[in-house]
Amino acid sequence: MANCTKTMTTNDAKETIIIVDDDLTNLTVGMHSLSDKYSVLTAPSGKKLFVLLEKVKPALILLDIEMPEMDGFEVIKLLKKSEKTAHIEKGKRIRKQWRSLDIAGGHGKTRDIGKR
């Protein structure tokens, strides 16, 4: 399994995005697709995401829903509960597209944020 990876230092002027997926191919494709415009970090699990969040404050988290140990919905619930992470925009992967998940107030509204 992949370790947490970053393509840029967090001191760059670029906003930081964290991609969370248990599939190494998805992490690699996402990292290469976004690294020109963003500082991209990757995590192979929800648990690794929370380790990263102790050090980094991302603008966006792109999150796979179907993962072992802790699925994406469980991760979102934990992110929502914490004052430190509740404000972070979250995206979930649905049918090869990333969608933004607006969970403020529990509405669960989605909007496209770009094709994968």
pLDDT tens, residue by residue, 47-76: 999 999 999 999 888 888 889 889 888 988
Distance CA 100, CA 60 (A): 9
Q: Residue 28: its pLDDT value, please?
A: 92
DSSP 43: E
Residue 115: how many CA atoms within 13 Å on its side-chain side?
Answer: 0
What percentage of the chain exceeds 90 in pLDDT? 32
* Alpha-helical segments (H) within 11-101: 24-34, 46-53, 72-81
Q: Which domains does the chain have, with CATH numbers?
A: 5-115 (3.40.50.2300)
C-alpha distances (whole Å) from 116 to each of 46, 56, 105 are: 20, 24, 27
